[in-house]
A and B are shown apart, each in its own frame.
Chain A
């Protein structure tokens, strides 16, 4: 249980284009999802916290107009990198926190997706 998927797993795009990354909780409902960015051999940097039905909360230094987050349902959050540039190339990882889904889950635990490798040319 507690499976989180991301799509696509990798994407290559031209500078100036926008890229959408989907994060889905497959077998549980997640009221809260998190978006992270990870550079090679480095730790995860939290970008934003996404709550279903409300605006995302962005961490300091993260441009909300550049990284658009939509949490439209209890199982789906999307991150759109708008007008991508080479410096946006990174590994983007989402996580979902187990919420109320009718069965006991580790509600205090974040479950992570497999990540999306974005390369902007």
Chain B
């Protein structure tokens, strides 16, 4: 079965420290991988995606993610966290030949403390 896993329900980071939000996936073929962020009572905002090319993808608000095919991972990272980064983060994968559907991870709540 195709799936996406975000092993941490919550990640706590001090402001200014680097942050990592983990994501692993299990899909057939070459997946498209995405990260979205959701603020309370809002829709999802696109952060970045990986389709092909350089394994390190840079996205919005200083976030980046590294695609690791051997480990089937796509961890989200930021060198220096801000309090305003506190939100719910979703990793998603788009398997091939499924009409563009996304499979979402369960989400990770990021809390950045001053």
Contact = CB atoms under 8 A, between A and B. Distances in A.
Contact of A93 (B44, B99, B109): B44
Nearest to B36: A112
Contacts of B105: 43
A4 interface: yes
Interface residues of A, number: 26
A109 interface: yes
Interface in A89-121: 91, 93, 95, 97, 106, 108-115, 117
Interface residues of B, number: 22
A115 B42 contact: yes
A58 to B, nearest CB: 12
Contacts of A117: 41
B106 A97 contact: no
Best-buried of B34, B44, B99, B109 by chain A (most CB within 10 Å): B44
Contact of B90 (A44, A57, A111, A113): A44
Contact of B102 (A46, A113, A114): A46
B100 A108 contact: yes
Interface of B: 32, 34, 36, 41-46, 49, 51, 90, 94, 99-102, 104-107, 109
6 contacts: A32-B100, A43-B106, A49-B99, A57-B99, A91-B41, A112-B36
